[in-house]
Amino acid sequence: MQNLAKKLNCSLSIDSKAKGYTKLVVIKNSHIFIPVYISEQCFSSEQSALWQDKKWFKEDYCLGPGNILFVHPNGKIAPCCGFANENKKLFIGDISESFEQIIKNAENSFMVRVSHIDGLSKTRKKLEKVGVVFPGKTKNPCGFCDYICKNDFSNLLQ
């Protein structure tokens, strides 16, 4: 990034207020402002590398990747820009629907409740209480969300 900033005749600064596992770097001058969000590498829930941490992730109710409406190239919409947002369980609509309908879909979504309202940490603890054993621990909430999306725990989380 330093090379890009130099070629653009810009300064490079790191936002020390960035929270969670995402870091914000800003490339700027009087005419250019480029925010760059850098996240740790994420692995899918099937990859053992995801489960090698010593501690669990810190709960952020998906504010780290952002509470946004992410539109995929096929028109499907997910409520986050994190790694897991390609799972069908996170789709809350598509671009043919009204904004109001997409928000209503989000309000009725099991995964939106799990990730944005209840919290992934609380969900993990509930699952552990009923005997679910995870492959390990992960610092990455998006990878854990991917795991929840790919496994049907809805009957255990009622």
88-98 per-position pLDDT tens digit: 999 999 999 99
Tens-digit pLDDT profile for residues 4-24: 889 999 999 887 665 555 678
In whole angstroms, give the CA distance from residue 86 to residue 2: 31
The pTM for the full model equals 0.78
- Side chain identity, residue 44: S
* CB neighbour list of residue 63: distance below 8 Å, 6 or more residues apart: 19, 20
**H/E stretch holding 103:** helix 99-107
Q: How far apart are CA 123 and CA 115, in angstroms?
A: 8
Cα of 79 vs its chain's centroid, Å: 9
